[in-house]
Amino acid sequence: MTSDNPFEAKANIIPPARSSSPSIKFSQKSAEDTAAELQTNLVTGLCNSQDILNRRSLHGVNELSNDEEESLFLKFLSNFYGDPLILLLIGSAVISFWMGNVDDAISITLAITIVVTVGFVQEYRSEKSLEALNKLVPAEAKLTRNGSTSTVLASTLVPGDLVHFIQGDRIPADIRLTEAVYLSIDESNLTGENRPVKKTVDSITFSGNDVPPVTTRNSIAFMGTLVRDGHGSGIVVATGAKTEFGAVFEMMSEIEKPKTPLQQAMDKLGKELSIFSFAVIGVICLIGIFQGRSWLDMFQISVSLAVAAIPEGLPIIVTVTLALGVLRMARHKAIVRRLPSVETLGSVNVICSDKTGTLTQNHMTVTKIWSADFKGSFNSPFLVVEKLDDNKLHHQLTKNMHMILETGNIVNNARYSNENEKYVGNPSDIALVECLPHFGLEDIRGTKERLYELPFSSNRKYMAVCVHSGNMDKSETFAKGASEKIIGLCTKYYDENSEIKPLTDEVKKNIAEKSHLLANDGLRVLGFARGNKKYVNEKDEHNEPSELVFCGLIGMKDPPRPNVARSIALLMKGGVHVIMITGDSPTTAVNIAKQIGMPIVGDSSVMTGDQLESLSEHALAEAIHNVSVFARTTPEHKVTIVKALQRRGDIVAMTGDGVNDAPALKLADIGIAMGKHGTDVAKEAADMVLTDDDFSTILNAIEEGKGIFYNIQNFITFQLSTSIAALTLIALATFFGLPNPLNAMQILWINILMDGPPAQSLGVEPVDHEVMNKPPRKRNDKILTEQLIRRVLQSAAMIILGTLYIFIKEMTDNEVTARDTTMTFTCFVMYDMFNALSCRHYSKSIFEIGLNNPMFNFAVAGSLIGQFCAIYIPFFQAIFQTEALYLSDIIHLLFLTSTVFVADEIRKYLLRRKNVFSGVGYGV
């Protein structure tokens, strides 16, 4: 996808100079000539549907495709020679066949096939889950076709398309610019140059036969680069592999993805268990040979035992569990882009959240208007828009208010989308355009032509445009933004008679008071001004408007999201500190914070950006403990806040949506970007994307992250107890000179159950909501806790004792018969199933949580059916060397093997009683 950046590892690679590429060709042509050659229109874009289809069939999909994947059959075959243990089994089968034991050879070969198939299916499932994740956040582009602008998948673009982009967007293809307003683009992932490149619509000229390098083609916006400032439009000249990005992509070899910390921990655990297992197996083999047993039998038993005892399936199951958990999060509108983030989610103890769009609905509505010529209504100095119908609003509209609304209309970048049938763009811009019909006014932007634009930025805190109605000599400047910034640009104002008067200190004080009153109501306050001179100059970004005439103020409301208050209450109950970060005034921020239930206790709970800058990092780390609201902040302040929190040892989740939020998102332990209104660069820097921009979704994601960690502990408990039991069982039998209670095929079948569906189903156990009552776990908490090891040893001991009891009880004549091994084999498998049932939860009774995991139910049912096939169907009887059992035998085994389940239920009951008296929460 075009949103992916495969070049991070080789950021300094400059694409090879190609003598002829679309970007070279069209960078030297004018925009008009480019449009003519590609048979498109600079205003309406492509208009012919059949022509678009023809272009797509000719140029292909706008994606950078990886090399052809290895065939599934070859991948499957590689599993036979890629695992040393499997090679040992194959050697065992060959030796058996060579010595005339054809039945054994066939049985072992069949077992190898089953083991490899189970592992292959699990790996394939994991890969497909990850592929699905990569497709959840497709790259998008703003496209104009046939005069209509809409948002489409970037993969659908064709040469000749007219596209638009703003600050924070990723360029979806190689584009010949037709409009560039203060446009600067970060091309570092293409050229290695960190400084953003200023772009123009002017064509470039080169003498001689030299190929113009990428860094000099300023009229081209390259696929995969990021818009750092301004906005622009252009015509697509190359897609997919024909782009300059595509040229580098062809050079790149596939970079192996690093394993997650949890997978590394599991690998380490697997190696330690393997070393221990090999040592025990080696001793078992030597003792057996010294006791005079057949070295071939001991070799086969040892190899089979190695396959069963060594948990080679652990990393696979961890990956599958994480991937399936991430897919479950996606259904709850939280898309986790990196698997390691799933582990970190369970540790988050501080969430720093944007106010707008995350804690609130991000649909601004004009609520109150103030101008000097308004007499007041509802005992208020403001026109209260939300309390009046359209007819009354029309009659109460004053001259100054008309100028306020007209200014808000002109200095506005909201676009109407036919596809969505609504305005799209900045929420404040949308609110200003949407309120016009209520006053009987129309959108007049079509009657004005823009000369220049000074775009809004977090540092500037205002936006200005210079427009004319056909006569450039009569150009006007319009500005909107933070009231204090707009006042700073003004020298005059419209008084109560709509006349222009000097802006005195007394008038400034009055405006500031009105702005403060609006902010106290929790409203976003914007000031508006205009002038009849041309002040904004595109060629000089430091030339700002001045000597404007102040029009008035508008207060807008963005109400809190419905479930935010409940989510914050649950997070605080679970030990998570929630901090609101906003660019609004402290009064506005505190008003919203109180509405959503955030604790505001005195002045220490609120800190402004100016106060933040006055503190050292160490002092801020000390002072930040009680802060719940950061107001009047810039995106740069977020980095300072994250560093201060991490200095205290906190695990921080940070939300953001803009380009300047990217450093903080990347620095945070969990960066959370907004899916609807977030920029591409924010999404790429983030670990998680909220597709609904809703804070409540973070709660679900943290709950899922905590649940996944405990699920991993549960299936490790199951696997280790089974592995230890199988290993110890054979070791004890060998040590005491008893015949082996399980043959090679039976051990391999147990291995399939241990690494197969029953184990994996424990990884997808539904999340227990009580995990949110448990404090966030520390990042370095061990997987194998002391309690978990005790639980493993308890279950393993019961399985060993019960299986040995059945084996010795059945072996009355010191000769191992088919019935003896069948009873022992079935006993062990049934112990396994009851053990899996008890491992579904650490502290809750199965009777309390119920049978609410369909995958577990099917896995256990399938395993039991497989076991009955092994002892009742003649074909499998020959393979597993079993015979049919009586119903009384099955009932006897059922009662005996259920003891492991009963014992664990007793342990859970005692643990719950202990926790009730000690006040300890849920968990391992």
The set of catalytic residues is 354
Angle of the 295-309 helix axis to the 261-290 helix axis, nearest 10: 160
Tokens of 237: 């000249």
Residue 210's alpha-carbon distances to 16, 27, 199, in angstroms, are 13, 14, 21
* Residues shown for the chain: 924
Taking only Cα atoms into account, the Rg of the chain, rounded to an integer number of angstroms, comes to: 35
Label the pairing between strands 422-424 and 449-454. unpaired
Q: With the CA atoms of 338, 343, 345 and 350 taken in that order, what torsion angle do they form, in degrees rounded to the nearest 10?
A: -110
CA angle 427, 693, 438 (to 5 degrees): 30
Q: Tell me if 765 sits within 8 A of 717, measured CB to CB.
A: no
Label the pairing between strands 548-557 and 140-145. unpaired
Closest CA to 383 of 401, 365, 399, 360: 401
- In three-state secondary structure terms, 230 is strand
Angle of the 314-331 helix axis to the 696-735 helix axis, nearest 10: 160
Give the DSSP H or E segment for 263: helix 261-290
Closest CA to 857 of 872, 836, 883: 836
Separation between Cα atoms, residue 676 and residue 425, nearest integer Å:
11
Which residues lie across from 165 on neighbouring strands?
232
Separation between Cα atoms, residue 805 and residue 816, nearest integer Å:
14
DSSP class of 417: E
Separation between Cα atoms, residue 780 and residue 772, nearest integer Å:
19
Q: Tell me if 347 sits within 8 A of 648, measured CB to CB.
A: no
Q: Is the dihedral of CA 328, 330, 333, 334 positive or negative?
A: positive
- In three-state secondary structure terms, 154 is helix
Q: Which amino acid appears at position 192 of this protein?
A: G
